[in-house]
Structure 1
Amino acid sequence: MGNSRLAVYPGTFDPITNGHTDLVTRAAHLFDHVVVAVADSSSKGPGFSIGERITLARLALADLPNVEVRGFDCLLATFVQEVGAGVIIRGLRAVSDFEYEFQLASMNRHLIPQAETLFLTPAEQYSFISSSLVREIGRLGGDISSFVHPAVQQAMRQRWQQSRSDFNKQPETKGDHHA
């Protein structure tokens, strides 16, 4: 049996949002220790490298002394066993998340029966936030300050400014005629 006072909260956190930090904060009050497990999701083509995502998560969660941020590049079940956790935290924003999360929880129960999955819902003001929406709003120059930690906002701003700069440096191709 894993340690029921130790929880793992896995995700890609690309980027970590205020919805994520809300869940981690509440989990930190429920458990002695929470490991925020940043998945190496290079196959998804993340906006930030795993190292950058770990750094941003550490900055966003720095005021929580019983929270540790670690990367992992293996099966979640393997990682949970390695750290000795007894609980996997998963967030549910809407009913639409439930079916997928239920399947994951069932598979994890099969793979690691000694760990339970605990579903938490974010505070209402964060229930609509997703990393993909934040990335899109930020990429298009929108205000993301109420969705992410200031360090995350700054990192995203720098990333998108660089992307726009690179895009604007592209040479015109034959057939590109502008009035």
Structure 2
Amino acid sequence: MRRAIFPGTFDPFTIGHSSVVARALTFMDEIIIGIGINENKNTYFPIEKRVEMIQGFYRNEPRIKVYSYDCLTIDFAQQVDAQFIIRGIRTVKDFEYEETIADINRKLAGIETILLFTEPELTCISSTTVRELLQFGKDISQFIPKGMEI
């Protein structure tokens, strides 16, 4: 079974994230969306709410599971017996960062990282931007998956 984790803070989960998941499902048997607890980030939604929103969105997709974790991503991957890490990248800057992390993860744990380039029309969407819109009371419905309850 090919199992991958898709790690992130997902605050909030955007249409860019759902696009990566949908594309990864074409070559993975199971994807575990791992919501990392990052004390250095100021989040809008509590971790429990993020888990609930994403689980609700994927409630009819048995190949997707959603968990939170508070350890290194490679440790989480090993805990859930994942062989791969899925990451979406929007820019060259993202690529350079992800390449470094992927190299370290492979060296430490033998876990391969699969990078999926964001679809061109979604490159401007980031959780940071959507979170800022939320904080200022703006409608974010065009940036989150249809059917996701915020």
- 2:39 aligns with 42
Q: Map of 1:86-165 to 2, 5 A cutoff?
A: 86-113=83-110, 115-149=111-145, 155=150
| 2:69 maps to 1:72 | yes
Q: Give the superposed CA RMSD.
A: 1.7
Indicate the structure (1 or 2) with the bigger Cα radius of gyration: 1
Q: Which SS does the other structure have where 1:44 is aligned?
A: coil
Equivalent residue for 1:27, pick from 16, 24, 27: 24
List runs of 5+ in structure 1 lacking aligned partners. Answer: 156-179
- The number of aligned residues is 150
Map Cα deviations across residues 120-179 of structure 1 (whole Å, 9 max, x no partner).
Answer: 012222121100100112222323111013565x63xxxxxxxxxxxxxxxxxxxxxxxx
Alpha-carbon distance in structure 2 between the residues aligned to 1:138 and 1:45:
13
TM-score of the two chains, using structure 1 as the length reference:
0.77
**Which one scores higher on RCO, CA 8 angstroms, separation ≥ 6?**
2
Alpha-carbon distance in structure 2 between the residues aligned to 1:27 and 1:77:
19
Identity rate, percent: 38
Task: Give the aligned residue type for 2:127.
Answer: S
Map Cα deviations across residues 95-126 of structure 1 (whole Å, 9 max, x no partner).
Answer: 1211111111111112111x110000122221
TM-score of the two chains, using structure 2 as the length reference:
0.91
Alpha-carbon distance in structure 2 between the residues aligned to 1:62 and 1:28:
15
Q: Which SS does the other structure have where 1:84 is aligned?
A: coil
Q: Which structure: greater helix fraction?
A: 1
